[in-house]
Chains A and B, each alone.
Chain A
C-alpha cells in the first residue's frame, strides 16, 4: 500500500541550511509535494516534483529526488525563524487514478536564533 515516512523533528540555527527527508512508495508515475503548516493554520503548498525529475529549485528551496532509493528531500537555504513550522511531504500516485494525497506524519522544524 501507500506509505510516506518522515523524521519527526529537526532543529537548526538561523542562517544554516535545513534538510528535511522523506521516503515514499514507488510508482512509475508519481507527483511528490512539500507542504508547510504553521500553528493553527492550514497547509501551504511550497513546491512539487514529478518522479521523472531529479531536482527542482525554487528560490531558497531545493527538492532532490532519488527514485532508486525512493527518497525525497527538501533543502531550505539560509533558514529563518519564520521557517519554523511542520513540513509534510505528500504523494499522488497517478497510475492508480486516485487523486487523494498520501501524507507523511510531518517533520517539525525548529529554527533557533
Chain B
C-alpha cells in the first residue's frame, strides 16, 4: 500500500514568513509523528498525535511551531515568523499505535526540505 507522503518536497522561504508542511500518513495509522533533521544529525522529535489530539508536544522548540491533525489523518506543521535556524528536513512518521509491549514501528515519509533565506 501507499507509504507516508509529505508535501512539498522542498520549500524555500524568506526569514519572517509563515510556512505550512503537510503529512499524509499510512491509511489506518492512528499515531503520527513529526521530527526535524538538521544537516549531519539524526532526526529530533517535535510532536506526536494520537488520533486528533497532540499526545506529546515536548519537542516543539518554541511557540512559533504548531501542528494540527483535525480529522485524525492528514497533519499540518505550521511555522510562524521563520528563522534561518529553522532550515532543516522535516520528517513525518506514522504507526499503528500498538500497545501491550509490542514494537510500534514508525514508518517515515521522504521529508520536506525547508530552507529559510
Contact = CB atoms under 8 A, between A and B. Distances in A.
A40 B104 CA distance: 25
Interface string A8-43: 000000000000000000000101010100001111
B33 A100 contact: yes
B108 A42 contact: yes
B103 A50 contact: yes
Contact of A41 (B31, B41, B110): B110
B42 A99 contact: no
B28 interface: no
Interface in B98-117: 101, 103-111
B88 to A, nearest CB: 14
A102 B111 CA distance: 18
Nearest to B42: A103
A98 interface: yes
A42 B109 contact: yes
A88 B41 CA distance: 10
B103 A31 contact: yes
Contact of A94 (B33, B44, B101): B101
Contact of A105 (B40, B59, B103, B109): B40
Size category of the binding interface on chain B: 20 to 34
A43 B103 contact: no
Nearest to B50: A99
Interface in B15-54: 31, 33, 35, 40-45, 48
Interface in A45-69: 45, 48, 50
Nearest to A97: B56
B18 to A, nearest CB: 25
Contacts of A50: 103
B41 A43 contact: no
Interface in B49-104: 55-56, 58-59, 91, 93, 95, 101, 103-104
Contact of B45 (A43, A44, A88, A100): A100
3 smallest CB-CB distances across A and B, nearest first, come from: A103-B42, A100-B45, A43-B108
Interface of A: 4, 29, 31, 33, 35, 40-45, 48, 50, 88, 90, 92, 94, 98-106
